[in-house]
Structure 1
Amino acid sequence: MKLLLPVEYQQDLESLFLSVRESVLAACPDAQVEHIGSSAIPGAISKGDLDVCVLVAPALHSHAVAALQASGYVIKVDTLRTPELCMLESPSHDYDVALQVVAAGSRFEFFMHFRDALCRDPELVKEYNALKLQYCDRPPAEYRGAKAQFIASVLGLV
């Protein structure tokens, strides 16, 4: 996994987020669109991808997924999919763009809670960066496991 410093990607991805937000709202006008992931956290190193949370009313979740698919997003294979969460990706950008379509009030709102916790605490960002550097040359499953443990710890779930 190649990691980028914030100065190498954050400004570009902030601009891309604004464009993606506009396209998501065109397809799902009732959605709340949030920039999440490392690119939304000052000082965080990243793979250089853009993660976006599309928060919708639970009754509109499947409709939102269908509307985003109709606008060009595709369901991301090999990811968790529930009535409250669907991950989509865009094949039409220079950067990897992933949408997490989340039912409001569900446990999957943790994407925003994690972002907010790191934005409030630069020491957590340092720990997160150290974890990424420690696992960048290891198998992806090991990294995902360590990342999940870190997120659970930050959110007080362990």
Structure 2
Amino acid sequence: MKFFRSEQYQPRCLQLYEQYTLEIKRLLPDARVEHIGASSVPSALSKGDLDIFVGVDPEYVEVSVRTLQKLGFQEKQDTLRTPELCMLESQIVNDVALQVVANGSESECYIEFRDKLIATPRLVERYNELKRGCEGMEHDEYRDRKAIFIAQVLGDDSRYIK
């Protein structure tokens, strides 16, 4: 696993985020679209990927997933899937993912985590330290370590985002 400094990937991610936001809002005008993940946090190290939160009313999660597939996304197979959360990955642009989330659900913790990092530079430093320690590590081991860190930041060891 290799990580990049913010200046190496954030400009590209921001441009992609803006493009995808327009497309998502065209298809789902009532959706809440937010930039999440490391690329949304100033100074955060990242694999260079872009994560976009797409919040929809709970009864529209499944239809929203099908609708967003029109943008070249498909359901990510090796990740958490619940009635309130579906992760999609782009089949067109590498390293772009959508998290389709039921508004008001526990899965809104992606936003909570982002906001805590932005508000607390020391947490970003710790997150970067974790990532530096995971260079060259297998993806699953990195995800496990990251999940523990996220749970600690959120103050709830029972919530693991993988």
The bucket for the TM-score relative to the shorter chain is: over 0.9
Given that 1:27 and 1:71 are in contact with CA atoms closer than 8 Å, whether structure 2 keeps it comes out as no
Secondary structure in 1 matching 2:69: helix
Task: Tell me, in whole angstroms, the C-alpha distance in 2 between the residues paired with 1:144 and 1:34.
Answer: 22
Amino acid corresponding to residue 13 of structure 1 in structure 2: C
How many residues end up aligned between the 2 structures? 157
Deviation by residue 1:39-67 (Cα, 9 ceiling, x = unmatched):
00000010000000000000111110111
Residue 124 of structure 1 aligns with which residue? 123
Is residue 33 from structure 1 mapped to residue 33 from structure 2 by the alignment? yes
Q: Which amino acid aligns with 2:147?
A: A
Q: Report the counterpart of residue 141 of structure 1 in structure 2.
A: 140
Question: In angstroms, what is the RMSD of aligned CA positions?
Answer: 0.9
CA drift of 1:72 comes to 2.0
Q: Determine what percentage of the aligned residue pairs are the same residue.
A: 48
Runs ≥4 in structure 1, deviation > 2 angstroms? Answer: none
Give the structure-1-normalised TM-score. 0.96
**Structure 2 CA distance, aligned partners of 1:70 and 1:138?**
34
Matches within 5 A, 1:68-107: 68-93=68-93, 95-107=94-106
Higher mean alpha-carbon deviation, 102-111 vs 69-78, is at 69-78
Supply the distance in 1 between the matched residues of 2:71 and 2:114 (Cα, whole angstroms).
27
Question: Could you tell me which amino acid in structure 2 is paired with residue 106 of structure 1?
Answer: S
- Contact 1:65–1:101 (Cα < 8 Å) also in 2: yes
Q: Deviations over 1:9-55 (max 9, x none)?
A: 11111111000111111121110000000000000010000000000
Check whether the contact 1:81–1:87 (CA below 8 A) recurs between aligned residues: yes
Give the secondary-structure state (helix, strand or coil) at the position aligned to 2:137: coil
**Aligned-pair CA distance for 1:70:** 2.7
Deviations 1:108-135 (A, max 9, x none): 0000000000000110000000001101
Q: Which residue of 2 aligns with 1:13?
A: 13
Greater mean alpha carbon deviation, residues 65-74 or residues 143-152 = 65-74
Unpaired stretches in structure 1, ≥5 consecutive residues:
none
TM-score scaled by structure 2? 0.94
Which amino acid in 2 is paired with 1:5?
R
Deviation at 1:89, TM superposition (A): 1.0
